[in-house]
Amino acid sequence: MREQVAEYVAAFANADAGVLLLGVEDDREVTGHGLPSSAVESLLDAPRARLDPPQPPGFTVSHKGVELIVFDVPAADAPVQMTGNGFPLRVGDQTVRARETQIAATKQQGMYESWESRRSSCSVADLDPKLLARARAGAGLSALSDEEYLLKRKLADQRGRRIVLRKAAESLFARQDPDHPNAGVRLFRVIGTERRFGAEHNVEERPRIEASLPHVLDEAHKVVSGLLRRPSRLVGMRFQEMPEYPDFAWREALHNAVAHRDYAIQGSGTEIWLFEDRMEVVSAGTLPDGVTLEEVLRLERVHRSRNPRIVRALVDLGFAKDQGEGIPRMFAEMEDAFLPQPELDVGGERIIVTLRNTSTLTASDRQFVAGLGNADLSRHEFRALLMAYRRGRVDNAALRSVTGLDTLRASHLLRGLRDRELLTLQGRGADSFYTLTPVVRDLALDRGELSGGSRGAVRSDRGELPEEVQRALDGLGLRPRKERLRAVIEAICAAREWTTPGEVARFLSFSQRKLSGRHLTPMVEAGRLMRRYPDNLTHPEQAYRANSSEASAEKGTS
């Protein structure tokens, strides 16, 4: 019996662990082992006395009034041999003899395939409970224990009564720095656009960021954010101070470098290089198996990962979404900030993602923005108009790619711009798209110098108007609010003796027909304007002036 126990224990140890019970029949009837105490002691010690390397001894338990003998066998790290009787291996419900090299190769297979799946020398007690609690909460698994979470996320394995951690768990949650020489992030600041050496050395290396991966990312976020400049960027229709790279774009590049790098390459790690004109994020390794550079550049949603255990936990910790949308959104964020699209360089066991900070806004783009003035547009509406100006058209898919809107909201936005006579619908169904209306197109070309969308018309000389009225005119933009527009009309009419509808229209770059019906007549009816020929509405010399010149001028400049 001692020989048989040693054989079963070795077979389980050479496979994926197991439990051997003495005192339970094949039909699951609990009968007890029925052995004298002297025999039991010798039997419990069989794994230690008859196997090389020795395995843990057995123990006894009482159940339903009888005693059972239990051997809780963990998977061994190396092949286990019965003294003088080969290497047993459990295959299914059979025990067979196998070669030592075969068992060793099977145990090492996971190590060859994935660094993160290798066994760690750490125990659960060596992990940071606060980080584990953060991950469990992020995953909606707060009811689980730390051990249950680690098992569920395949960051640990149950080996008998033991929890055996994988390298992924150590990298993510270790209290002390993980046992890897380059698992952190190195940060370099370059004075200039190119690295120089010797007497012209221009590279400043910041202190290495080394800790568990969540702490590395948190600290890298803080340090990089403090180093980025805040130039004036176009946000919606206004220029505001913004980080030189969109937060999501550079953080996504960093997260990818940390999550997907090849940790089996221990001679190099993740690096961030900050040049005057660009940021380079470098990670060790190449693209994961099954992922091509062409797929990435086509902005396809790629879900494959070299380190799926690490990625899944980083999702729980809030650093990623694991939906394959990170890289497409990184490209969209750069475009939304009017910056060049990211560059990817793959080769030589490293991947470099480059983000450039030189604006893609042209002089023509800036002219278009200036022409829109203070038009009442949301940020997404403005992007739709600028896209239509730049590309000659805008459609639902193109707008979604830049703004992140869903199909329904993008359609609603485009239809709204059409209803406001800013865009014109072209085509039908899936082939439909929008172009700028003639008025907006002419305004884009001539900064509002045209009236009613007719090329060649010239705005009246504004020099005859007070400077404050001219400033109010300049601030109107393409589609001002009704009350703001009427206040300016009132100010124009207050500044002159009599002003004809044509003159008002030219001052405003507005259609005379629409101006009279929508504004001049209602303003007369409201008592804000008076007609020169009130009894002959169609008089060829009809003109208007404000009822109170002084009050009207104040309204127009407020």
pLDDT tier for residue 500 given thresholds of 50, 70 and 90: confident
* pLDDT over 60 (residue 449): no
Which whole number is the average pLDDT over 506-534? 83
Residues of the chain with CATH 3.30.950.30: 2-112
Asked if residues 477 and 485 have their Cβ atoms less than 8 Å apart, the reply is: no
CB distance 344 to 287 below 8 Å: no
CA 196, CA 489: separation in Å to the nearest integer? 62
47-68 tens-digit pLDDT = 999 999 999 899 999 988 899 9
Q: What is the pLDDT of residue 501?
A: 85
Q: What share of the chain in percent tops pLDDT 90?
A: 41
**pLDDT, position 400:** 87
The 10s digit of each residue's pLDDT in 522-546 is: 999 999 999 998 888 877 788 999 9
Classified as helix, coil or strand, 195 is: coil
When pLDDT is averaged across residues 378-403 and rounded to a whole number, the result is 86
Assess contact for 235 and 194: CB atoms under 8 A: no
Residues of the chain with CATH 1.10.10.10: 363-445, 459-556
* Nearest-10 Cα torsion for 401, 242, 340, 186: -110
By CB neighbour count within 10 A (0-12 exposed, 13-18 middle, 19+ buried), where does 259 fall? buried
pLDDT band, residue 550 (cuts 50/70/90): very low
pLDDT digits (tens, 9 = 90+) for 422-433: 899 998 888 899
**pTM assigned to the model:** 0.60
CATH of domain 459-556: 1.10.10.10
The pLDDT-based confidence of 389 (bands split at 50, 70, 90) is confident
Helix (H) or strand (E) holding 198: none
- Residue 271, Cβ neighbours under 10 Å: how many? 19
Angstrom CA distances, 145 to 129, 135, 141, 260, stand at 10, 12, 9, 27
Alpha-helical (H) ranges within 276-378 are 293-297, 308-316, 326-336, 363-372
The residue to which tokens 């003109």 are assigned? 543
* Better-scored residue on pLDDT, 553 or 366: 366
Residue 186 has pLDDT above 60, yes or no: yes
Mean pLDDT comparison of 133-137, 360-364, 448-452, highest-scoring range? 133-137
| The CATH fold of domain 185-356 | Heat Shock Protein 90 (3.30.565)
CA 49 vs. chain centroid, Å, equals: 57
Most confident by average pLDDT, 303-307, 312-316, 493-497, 517-521: 312-316
- When mean pLDDT is compared across 204-218, 254-268, 539-553, the lowest value belongs to 539-553
pLDDT category of residue 380 using cuts at 50, 70 and 90: confident
Which is more confidently placed, 104 or 43? 43
Task: Please compute the mean of the pLDDT values over residues 362-381 and round it to a whole number.
Answer: 74
Lowest mean pLDDT segment, chosen from 183-187, 255-259, 390-394, 444-448: 444-448
pLDDT band at 28; cut points 50, 70, 90: confident
The predicted pLDDT at position 137 comes to 95
**CATH assignment of 2-112?**
3.30.950.30
**What's the chain's average pLDDT?**
84
541 forms beta bridges with: none
pLDDT of the residue at 191: 93
> Under CATH, which number does the domain 363-445 receive?
1.10.10.10
Which pLDDT value is given to residue 349?
A: 86
Mean pLDDT within 20-31: 89
**Cα–Cα distance for residue pair 5/227, rounded to 1 Å:** 65
pLDDT tens-digit map of 152-178: 999 998 876 788 899 999 999 999 888
pLDDT score recorded for residue 335: 82
Is the pLDDT confidence value at 201 over 70? yes
Per-residue pLDDT band at 27 (split at 50, 70, 90):
confident
Count the helices and strands in the chain (H runs, E runs).
23, 21
Give dist(CA 528, CA 524) in Å, integer.
Answer: 6
